Each structure stands twice: as structure tokens, then as C-alpha cells.
Structure 1
Amino acid sequence: MSPFENKYVIGLTGNIAVGKSVVRQMLQHFGAYTIDADGLTHQAMAPGAPAYQPIVEMFGKFIVDGEGRINRPLLGAVAFAVPEALVKLEEIIHPFVTQAMTALISRAQQRVIVVEAIKLLESDVASMCDTIWVVDATVETQVKRLMEKRKLPLEEARKRIIAQPPQSDKLSRAKVVIKNDGTVEDTWKQVQMIWNATVVPVVGNQMPKSVPTMGTQPAAAPARPAQPQPQAQPPARPAPSMPPQPARPAPTTNNVAARPVQAAPAMPPAPQQRTVPAKPAGTSSLTPKPNVVSPLSPKTEVGIRRGMPNNAEMIAKFVTRVTGNAVDRMDIMLAFGQKSFLLALGDNDAVIAVIGWTVENLITRIDEFYLDPNVPRDPVISALVIAVEEASRELQSEVSFIFLPKNVAQDVVQAFVVNGYQPLNLSQIKFPAWREAAHEMVTPDTVGLMKQLRADRIMKPI
């Protein structure tokens, strides 16, 4: 049993490349607070973080790159090649990660906690859990994912799999097993069914508090729209958004075209949505074109809703309309294995904007944004930013990064700046873990912005 009062802790594990992170993201959609123990491990190894110096002393300076960061792929290659080295590495890191997890669980407001860790059962983390969920996949699926996602050669992928304890050991201790060889939608249905059967009877419905959700049909709301939409690509027209690119499959999900499937069951009735007053349409530089009806009238408030997978088709239609690029339902379903979406709604329940974001390792990343070109930018962007930050703080995020295409209109950037974001300058980010995360996210084609969300940090530098 978990030692945490009034918390129900799910230990989520499984061997490499079985798709644990996809399942963790899905559980977050249902209202769980999720922890990526491997992500905390990366933070613990950042320059100045508690595990950095002990690791460098143990393995040597050859594992440090030109910018002073630990080269994790190189360190992994050494550790996986020498079992004793892997044990030593874990002995250095695990105490710091366990300490951080304990603090996160204790201060979380959510009752359901999910701890994802590949070595969960081999460590004292298992003693923190009320139940154990194991994600399972065939070796063929694991190899394929390692080669596609991590770009590992075939032999290196097989070596990584063989180096781990047998998956059968984990399965023998599982209370729940999720098979993850199929599509994201297949996995979503399993997770939803198991959540309703095993978690809801214990803690009730735990939908995220900060932003309401929508079912398949719009929920009745006070003169405000109600329909969520994730997103999958940025606009290529005069809309303030990311450059068009195909929706990416989930990091560890099978990238196989799915045959048509019935939509996932609708979520429980949504709470009333939060609204933000909108400024008159004429105050934005993006005014409706002549003979075009704006889906946001001057007296309308911007409604914000959380997108869910059962809204995937609606979201796909919106993204297709504003970008001019064909996006289908399965593109959106794949995206749901990676991130969350918030929708802005205008008159007559019309979707007027979609923002895609995720919180990983206590860092928020906003990397997708679609806006109807016929609505004022300032009130819509402000409403979405406020909602993302509320949801991020609920997930204990410490900092938020936004990435927009370099050719984005300046008033779009300014709309984010008005909400407290500043241009991203890697050399001026004082915390190494944040700097490393931003370094991995930024590209030559994007403009980065950042905003600190919390003063305290879970992995304090030393």
C-alpha cells in the first residue's frame, strides 16, 4: 500500500519501447498526476544537479560533451555494455529521483498518481504504489520502435532489450496488463476501460480541475461554446501558427495505419467551461476580411475546453480548414499519445483556435498552435495561455516554453509577450536542466519564448 495519505498510486512499468509514456499521457487525460521517473533521472544528471558530479567522477570526463553536459547516449552505451557499470549508475541516481518523487507526490493536489519507471519493480519505488500496471509489447514491436524513434541500429536495439530483466518478471507482478502492439486508439480504449473498472470505483472521476472537458456532443454551457479539439499541425496561411507538418506519431507507438474504428466512448459530462472576456474584434490586427463572418463577435467571451480523443474528427476538420493541409482523425489520435490539446470556442460553438502542449519533466512545451484567421488574436491567445498555465501549474510545471515559426506575424509574438513570455535566450537560462531541455527543443526555423511558472524547483542545483 502507498504510504501517501489520500493518494492512490499506480506504478506503471514495462521494458524498453513497450509504450509506457503513451499510457502515462492517456492517464493524465483522465485526471491523474503523472511522474516520469526516467525524466527525473535526466534532470538529476544535468550540470549542477545532484547526480552530475558523482557520475562524471565514476565514468570519467569522456562522457561530457563540449558544452559540459553528460552525453546520455554515450553513458547509456557504456552502462548497458557493462552490467556492473549500470548498477553503479543506478546507485548514484536512484536516491535523488526517489526524493524528488516523494516531494512531487506529497504536494500533488490530484488523488491519483502515476509513476512511470522502467526499473520500478527493481527499486524501492514499488513500495510507494497501491497497484502495478505493466505495458506489454512483442520484441518485434520493441525493436521497430527503437529503430524508428531512437534511430538505433538493429543490433543495438536488440542489445538494449536483452540487457533488461525479462518482461515476464514484470508481468508476473502486474495487477493490470495493457497490450500495446496495435494503434493508439486500441490502447486508448484499453486504458479507458481499465480506468473505469479499477480506478473510478476507488477514487471517483478525477478529471483535471483547471480546464473542463467535452464529450462527443457539446456540453450545455451558459451561452458559450463547448467542443474540444486537439491539434496536429500549424497553419500555412496568414494564420499565426506553426509551419505545416504532418502530425507526428507518439514516441513509442506503432506507426501503422489504422483501419476505421468506432470512436472511443464519450467521457463523463463536462463541468462548466471557464470563459475569458474578449475584446472587440476590431482591436486586433487580424480583422475579418470583407464578406467573411467572424466566429467571434465583439460581445462574445472566449470559451476554453480540453480536447479529448473522442473529439479527434472534429479537431482534424478544424486543422484541415485553417491550414489547407489534409489532417484525418488518426493523425489526431496519434498526437493524443504525445500531448494535450486545448480549444478556444467562439459563437455557435465554433472552434476558433487549438493549442497543443505537454508537461514533461516539470517543463511545459507549447509547440502547436492553430488560429482561425478571422478572429482577433489578442483575446484568444490570452485565454489559451491562461488555460495552459493553469493546467501546467496543476501538473507542477516549473517553466513554460513556446515555439513558433520564424515567419510568424509579430503581433502573434506580442500577444504571448503581453502574457509574460520573453524571447528565449539559451545562454541566459540559469538552470541547466531548463537550458538543456530548451536546447533539445529549439530549431533554426522557430522562435522560442519562455516564462517561469514556479519559484521553487524540485531538482535543486548544488
Structure 2
Amino acid sequence: MSDNTEATTYAGKVIIGLTGNIATGKSAVMRLAHDYGALTIDADKIVHELMDNDATMQAAIAVAFGSEVRREDGRIDRKKLGEIAFADPTALQDLEAMTHPAVGKEVDARILASKQDIIFIEAIKLLEGHLRDICHQIWVTRCSPQRQLERLRVCRGMETEVAAVRIKAQPSQEEKVAQSDVLIDTNGLMKDTEAQFDIAWARLPDPATAEPMNRLPLPDESGQNSTKPLTARQASPKAAAPKKAESEIPPPRLQPSDRPEDLQVRRARPSDIPSILLLIQKATDGKVQMKRADLLMALSERGYFIGQVGAEISTVMGYNIDSQVARIDEIYIHPLEMATQTGKAVLEDIEISAATHMGQIIVAFLPQDAPAPIHELFAAEHYVPMPFEEMAKGWQTAIEESQTEGTDTLVRLLRDTRAG
């Protein structure tokens, strides 16, 4: 935790508020901000963390909305809660009144603890609450309803009818656009979004001279929420080996190791799609077949790290970080001998990125039939099995939300936030 808790302002920080309707490209903009070195905070994900981890919040919601919204393990069933809250404006206001103070407290803590001087905060209700008051600029993403529909179908797997209902249920995009300082139109290709982002980024105020924003109003001591984790659930993903002693786990990497001059690690671009598709074909012997359109859409919603020697791409790994839990999936290396070269370099850069952005752990989802060189690569980079019941609640939730069938989890511990 930062030692700036007595500060009255966020001096030396430029804070950007990002909002927009569902599937309008907010995730792509947040990923670009992350790639450019900003701290990215998803306020809506913090609400989910509270509902999963905060026993006091869980109890209060159960009292207000009925015990049926609380699962046996204590977590809030967001689907059931949503059916109640979104059907009654008064109920929704009550829910927001319960959660917003705790969200503000967490956002405040992350800003103060961060070393980054540019902060991006994403929130659906950004314009309706106190978060707006701490922002130097408001950015809004916009696209056509048809584009929204495509993203919900391809990237989130929604049925067309369900996606259409979600889109129509939201207020007009123009209400947010009218209040924006920066408008990002995401109807085009990812390169078009990047071009708009580059222009807006270049025009950001200088953090050293920007007006210090007053800190968010925080709940008084009697209104603070507990964040102690609940008893862990017993269901456990498959573990492959005993847990490595914590004393043996090195601190997070902050610099890459020495590399050959022609070895490069970078984020994937749309122009890399043909090479990525070819690599996937080779690495899986044709078992995994991805369409160009699907990969293009995926690139707009998440990140991929590429490792190459010269012009030859030999490693691709999917990567994202959310709620301080970084995730690695879609691991493709060919030929396998490159695991110790480009594979190692990609994992190093992922670790540096996750540590820089306050990540607590990196979870790698390895296919159960992954070849030995890939298992050896992750073991060499200090990825180890961790019993599910020993994980912090937020880590468990991240795994449950992200793990796909046929994969095992390995964990690289960066910052141990567990009590005791």
C-alpha cells in the first residue's frame, strides 16, 4: 500500500475516465492504455470482486434483496441480483448506494499505490457518480448497433436475440457522447481505433503540471467494508505437482534477461494475422482452426504477445490482466525448440507487464496435452501448481471465470496478498 494515504489530492497524476455502451470497444481502448504504460482500473469489475469476496457486502445485499441472491459459498449470484435490480429503478439505486462507496475506496487506494502517472478508469456509470469529478478528461467509445451485435456474438458468445435485447436496454449512446472530451469511434479496424487513441494520448496533459484532482470522498470508519476472504470452496482444478515453497519463489522480474539482437517480443497487430494463423496450424497439427475474422475480432478485445527471431514468429500467447490477476492462454510455440528462446522471452515480458500493473499473480492455462517442452518452460519461469483452496478469493474467481475445459492451471506468484 502506498504511504500517500494522508494526501488530499492525486498530485502528479492525470486521470482519464472511460465509458461507453456495451460492446463499443472500451476493452480495446483500455488495452491500448495498458500497453502505453497507464494504470487501468475497471470500476465495474471491482463491484464483482466485492460481491465475490467481501462478507459484509454480501450479507448486506442478501438482507436488502433476499437470501436467494446469495450462493451457498457466500458469493452473490449476479444473474439473480440483476433480475431484481434491473427490473426496478429504485432497487438499482439502492444497490448502487451500497456498492459505490466501497468501489470509490478501492479506486482511491489503487491510484495512491500506483507508480504510473496516467490512470484510466472504466465505468459504465462513470458520468453519474463521484468518479467523474476526479477525471481530467472523459473518453467515450461509440460504434453502430450492428457492430455491437457482432462483438457480442463473436467475442462473448451471445445468441443474437439476447445480444439485441442487451443493446436496446441501454440508454442512447449520444447521451454519453455529448459529455465526452474525447470520442473514439470503433466502427473501423483496430488500426483505426489505434490511430484515434494515439492522437488523444499525445494531447494528454503533462502529469507534472496537470491540476491535482481532489481525492474521492471515502466512507467513514463505521461505513468501511471488510475485505477478508471467505472460506475457500472445495472444488479444485487439477494440480500437477506439489506447491513450491514460497521462500523459493523469486520476486517479480522488472527487466528482461539478455537476448540475441534479432529476438523480439511485441504485441500482435492485425497485420500479423496470417503469420499467427499459420503458427497455430503448425503448432497444433491442424487441430485448432481459427478463422481470420474471429482472430481479427479477438485482437480488438484482448492482447497477444508475439515472440520472433528475425521475421519468423515462433511463439504466440494470449494475455490479459483484470482485477490484478493476469492470465495466459492460447499458448502456441513452433518449433518446440524455440520454447527456450522466444517462449522464455515472451513469459519474461508478460511478467514485467503484470508486475508493472500491480498484478498479484499470473495464471497460465496449459492444455492438458501440452508437450513436455512447454511444461518445462513454465516450470523454469517459476510457474507452479497452487491448491485451489489456498488461493485468495479473487484468484479463485478469476480462474473460475477464465479456465476452459481441458486445461490445467499454473501460477506465478507476484504479490502475495493473502492474510497470514
Tell whether the 8 Å contact from 2:336 to 2:373 is kept in structure 1 after alignment.
no
* TM alignment of 1:302-381, pairs within 5 A: 303-309=263-269, 311-313=271-273, 314-325=275-286, 330-346=293-309, 348-375=310-337, 377-381=339-343
C-alpha separation between the residues in 1 aligned to 2:153 and 2:268? 30
Tell whether the 8 Å contact from 1:277 to 1:302 is kept in structure 2 after alignment.
no
C-alpha separation between the residues in 2 aligned to 1:192 and 1:301? 28
* TM alignment of 1:255-334, pairs within 5 A: 276-277=257-258, 303-309=263-269, 311-313=271-273, 314-325=275-286, 330-334=293-297
C-alpha separation between the residues in 1 aligned to 2:148 and 2:406? 32
1:34 maps to 2:40: yes
- 1:1-29 CA distance string (max 9 Å, x none): x9522222221112233332232223323
Offset, 1:315: 3.8
1:404 maps to 2:411: no
- 1:320-341 CA distance string (max 9 Å, x none): 4444546676554323223222
SS at match of 2:86: helix
State the partner residue of 2:198. Answer: 196
C-alpha separation between the residues in 1 aligned to 2:107 and 2:136? 15
C-alpha separation between the residues in 1 aligned to 2:124 and 2:272? 30
Offset, 1:128: 1.3
1:101 maps to 2:107: yes
Number of positions where the alignment pairs a residue of Structure 1 with one of Structure 2:
362
- 1:161-189 CA distance string (max 9 Å, x none): 56544433212111122233x35x2x541
SS at match of 2:45: helix
Tell whether the 8 Å contact from 1:364 to 1:397 is kept in structure 2 after alignment.
yes
Tell whether the 8 Å contact from 2:184 to 2:197 is kept in structure 1 after alignment.
no
C-alpha separation between the residues in 2 aligned to 1:375 and 1:449? 21
What are structure 2's unaligned runs of at least 5 residues?
1-7, 207-254
SS at match of 2:405: coil
- 1:265-319 CA distance string (max 9 Å, x none): xxxxxxxxx76358xxxxxxxxxxxxxxxxxxxxx57834222425424444444
State the partner residue of 2:396. Answer: 435
Offset, 1:46: 0.9
Using the TM superposition, name which of 93-102 and 136-145 deviates more: 136-145
Identity of aligned residues (%): 29
Using the TM superposition, name which of 396-405 and 194-203 deviates more: 194-203
State the partner residue of 2:51. Answer: 45
Q: Where is the helix percentage greater, Structure 1 or Structure 2?
A: 2
Give the structure-2-normalised TM-score: 0.75
Offset, 1:116: 0.9
- 1:72-124 CA distance string (max 9 Å, x none): 11111111011111111111111111111122222333333211110000011
Using the TM superposition, name which of 398-407 and 300-309 deviates more: 300-309
State the partner residue of 1:177. Answer: 183
SS at match of 1:17: coil
C-alpha separation between the residues in 1 aligned to 2:98 and 2:166? 21
Question: Relative to 1, partners in 2 of residues 1:147 and 1:309: Cα closer, same or farther, differing over 3 Å?
Answer: closer
C-alpha separation between the residues in 1 aligned to 2:23 and 2:203? 31
What are structure 1's unaligned runs of at least 5 residues?
205-273, 279-299
Offset, 1:388: 0.9
Question: Relative to 1, partners in 2 of residues 1:303 and 1:107: Cα closer, same or farther, differing over 3 Å?
Answer: farther
Give the structure-1-normalised TM-score: 0.69
SS at match of 1:448: strand
C-alpha separation between the residues in 2 aligned to 1:451 and 1:302? 27
C-alpha separation between the residues in 2 aligned to 1:308 and 1:408? 23
C-alpha separation between the residues in 1 aligned to 2:67 and 2:132? 33
- 1:35-92 CA distance string (max 9 Å, x none): 1111111111113455322222222221123443211111111110111111111111
State the partner residue of 2:89. Answer: 83
C-alpha separation between the residues in 2 aligned to 1:108 and 1:414? 33
Tell whether the 8 Å contact from 1:15 to 1:167 is kept in structure 2 after alignment.
yes
Letter in 2 for 1:116: E
Q: Quick one: which of 408, 413, 418 aligns to 1:447? A: 408
